[in-house]
Chain A
Amino acid sequence: VSWRRWAIPDVEAIDALYTSIGGEVWRAMVAASGGRAEVADEATAEAFKRLCQSWDSVREPRPWLYRTAYRLVVEELRRARRELAADATEPADPPDKGVLSVEVIHLLRQLPADQRLVVFLFYYADLPLAEIASLTGSTAVAARIRLHRARKRLRAMIEEASRV
């Protein structure tokens, strides 16, 4: 998508942008939220809406959308945790649309949201650390550390499971 083609924003431009990168942003948010498709839907929709509102100030829409949607995912997960703490009768995990298997959801939920996103972008989207850093608003070193911690945690989980 040639972003600068649209000096004046319009729905066609947003449609083209969504067609081009909406799926990857949404998929990354599904991963970051630990398989909660509703959270990914909300975050992606809200990020695109905010993009429309901030059209003039956004230079690179792809990292902007990733970062904005990711912040929204984190806020939503925090809000859900607060509500859960306030009402102990709620189920531990809110119901989701079940777009992923239990195995993958279990794996993702072993990790905090920032590590989930980095693991997804590295192992699924095959992105280099520099690009992951750009999409997550961090540095390549921070991304590498998150990846290292995620691997360590998953390895420990697998070892634990094999002992059981």
Chain B
Amino acid sequence: VFDLRETLREFDDVRPPEALRRRILRDAASVLGAAPQAGANTGWPGLARPLAWAVGGLAAALVLGLLVIAAHTRDAHAPQPPARQTNQSHVVSANGVRLTVPRGWSAVRPASDAPVTDPRTLLVVGTAEVHAQASQCQIGGKYHVPAEGAVVVVVGWLSSSAGGGPVTAGRAALRHLTSVHKPSFECYAGRGAVAQVRLGGRDYQVNVMVGDRASQQRIAQALAVARSFDLASSGSGKADPHTVIDVTGAIGGIHTSATRLSVERTLGSGATISTVTRHPKTGSYTLQRVAYPASRLVVLYFASPNHLARVFGVFTRSPRYHTADGLRVGSTLGQARSEPGIRCSQQETWIACQGGLGYQHPLTSFIVKGGHVVRVFVAAAAD
């Protein structure tokens, strides 16, 4: 039974394609728009039927009109799916940061930051013909952006703060890069988008600028490039706390017993996978499993009528997360056995290498199958 549960955990990483949502919404618009239902439940049951039909018809026409307007508005502002990571995608890195860019994009020589000394431009990537140009402006104006092109500029602060207000730790803010607006930059009249993130204790700003005639595909591409921002593995040499597995009870900085509010401040909002409510004699409680796709984490929350939802477990199948010694998904059993504070034991059909063992301590477990770590989780001590 436990093996079956463990085997089916693979579904945590299985998500419907974005194309399915688009298809469903297109079908909905087609069905609901083409055939507004005469005599539908309009929410006014007290009205006489002919009047209700008339009101219903008017309301349906109004809804249809709003749908048409909404459809146009949504086209311009709706979150775009990330650019497909094809084999042609490649990573461009410089100064300890990196971006993943599609074919046709390349690194651009950064414009001089002078006279500004902090922040500094770390990495610039763009489509063909993007190039630096002389300007006194900070970001906008420093790059020539062709009408159908786009550029992404990453700047980083040497000082501890970006100075523009508090910056949330982690990459969650990048997820908000889903649309472009204007004006976004001084000296640049075109559309753009900006996100500020704190990684490894430093503040970064990721800036997107697109040309006046950039297609929706180009805009989606530029935003996906910006969202791919991360620290280069060869960066400062200091581990990013948001990718660390702490065997005393945390993955990626998410600790057991943290509140859902604090988790979602770091990871952004998640998608609920399942909700289960149990009613034992000792009092009812709810377990909710929530996926955070951008972070490749699944968090299990425990809530009861008298307690806020708190982290009961954190799960990942991503090799992004690792211990201080580099143990991660994909590591060998030998590496797991040599990890300090970890003990491995044979289970039914897998090996559990566990740390944090002790009364009322959170448990960290590396599940080993076929000689390699396939999953890592931390779980709170259950009384």
Binding site for B on A (CB under 8 A): 7-12, 14-15, 18-20, 22-24, 26-27, 30-31, 37, 40-41, 44-45, 48-49, 52-53, 55-56, 99-101, 103-104, 107, 119-120, 123-128, 151, 154
Contacts and interface: CB of A to CB of B under 8 A. Distances in A.
Nearest to B60: A8
A8 B63 contact: yes
B300 to A, nearest CB: 10
Nearest to B35: A53
* Dominant secondary structure of chain A at its interface with chain B: helix
Interface string B1-44: 10011011111001111001101110111011001010011110
Chain B interface category by residue count: 35 or more
Given A8-B42, A56-B37, A41 B5 contact: no
A48 B4 contact: no
* Dominant secondary structure of chain B at its interface with chain A: helix
Nearest to B5: A123
B14 A52 contact: no
A103 B274 contact: no
A126 B274 contact: yes
A127 B41 CA distance: 32
Interface of B: 1, 4-5, 7-11, 14-17, 20-21, 23-25, 27-29, 31-32, 35, 37, 40-43, 56, 59-60, 63, 66-67, 70-71, 271-274, 276, 287
B59 A123 contact: no
B16 A48 contact: no
Contact of A24 (B8, B35, B41, B274): B274
B14 A30 contact: yes
A22 B1 contact: no
A125 B70 CA distance: 35
Contacts, number: 125
A11 B70 contact: yes
B20 A41 contact: yes
Q: Which of A103, A120, A126, A154 lies at the interface centre, i.e. has the most chain B CB atoms within 10 A of its CB?
A: A126
Contacts of A44: 16, 20, 24
Contact of A107 (B7, B25, B41, B70): B7
3 shortest interchain CB distances as A-B pairs: A7-B43, A14-B28, A52-B31
A54 B141 CA distance: 54
A47 B379 CA distance: 37
Given A11-B32, A44-B20, A103-B7, A52 B40 contact: no
Given A45-B27, A125-B276, 6 more contacts: A8-B56, A10-B63, A15-B28, A22-B21, A52-B27, A123-B1
